[in-house]
Amino acid sequence: MTKKPPALSDLRREIDRIDEAMHRLLMERGDIIDTLIKVKNTQESGSAFRPAREADMMRRLVERHKGILPLDTAESIWRTIISTFTFVQAPFSVHADMTPGDAAMRDSARFHFGFTAPLVTHIGAAGAVAAVNASKGDIGLVPATSASGAWWQMLEAADAPKIIARLPFVERADHPAGLPVFAISHPAEDAIVRDVTVWSVRVSGWTAATGGALGPLAEVVAVPDKTLDGAALLVSVAGDFEHVASALKKAGVTVRSHTLVGSHATRYTVDARA
């Protein structure tokens, strides 16, 4: 005998029960954040964004996810929850460099930081970085894999903002907001994670082929640096910078200076949807 399917009204009652439970849990999460504000002293540091903690949360979400709800949706729901609770702790604006295209950058800003934080658009990374520099806890979003100028040199001073995250936290080929971006902010001491360090490097003797010589050792964004007859590089390295320096030397490149301009959690990649 085949089992009779449940009545539609019963299923809807179940859905109402789950929706109410989820809403109550979110309100309970809000109560915990209310206490966390005092424990964490968020008002003092000016920014509540803790990218290493968020990277870890997003990874665990992806690992436990299954069922017919698309991962993109689960991820975007939690990005909205976490970024809104970040905003609730200490309001901030997102300053985005729209050079990679308005649609791609807007999708990235909204996917990762929701609609509660105001989005301020800039044409060029320098404007976004300057706005973050002038703020206490704002976040800048700039493209991570291309540049038209060496904006990262604006991060060299000790009291300048730093790169604190690379987004998306969970990378995949078909990510709905997959533009690779760096998040920049005045870092709170406990917001810093040094899995990958990012360096502003001035070199001479640079050619397009030299970038390839670094291979998997580091990711490099290069722009011409006319004053040095060479290049200004933004170098992301998972290991010791000295390995990059010796690979560059071997390739005939002279490192004039290297300055730490930020760091972020290890990148995490999952397969695209089957």
Question: Contact positions toward ligand PRE, by CB under 6 A?
Answer: 36, 40, 48-50, 53-54, 82, 85-86, 89
Least distance CB 235 / ligand PRE (angstroms):
26
Least distance CB 232 / ligand PRE (angstroms):
31
Closer CB to ligand PRE, 86 or 200, in the complex = 86
Using CA atoms, how far residue 21 sits from 10, 18, 24, 25, 101, in Å, is 17, 5, 5, 6, 40
Least distance CB 216 / ligand PRE (angstroms):
30
Closer CB to ligand PRE, 80 or 121, in the complex = 80
Least distance CB 181 / ligand PRE (angstroms):
16
Closer CB to ligand PRE, 54 or 219, in the complex = 54
Least distance CB 16 / ligand PRE (angstroms):
26
Closer CB to ligand PRE, 127 or 137, in the complex = 137
Closer CB to ligand PRE, 116 or 259, in the complex = 116
Least distance CB 85 / ligand PRE (angstroms):
4
> Which string of DSSP letters, residue by residue, matches the chain?
-PPPPPPHHHHHHHHHHHHHHHHHHHHHHHHHHHHHHHHHTHHHHS----HHHHHHHHHHHHHH--SSS-HHHHHHHHHHHHHHHHHHHS---EEEE-TT-HHHHHHHHHHHHTTTSPEEEESSHHHHHHHHHHSSS-EEEEESS--SS-GGGGG-STTS-EEEEEE-SEE-TT-TT---EEEEE---GGG---SEEEEEEEEES--HHHHHHTGGGEEEEEEEEGGGTEEEEEEEESS-HHHHHHHHHHTT-EEEEEEEEEEEPPPEE-PPP-
Closer CB to ligand PRE, 58 or 150, in the complex = 58
Residue nearest to ligand PRE (CB): 85
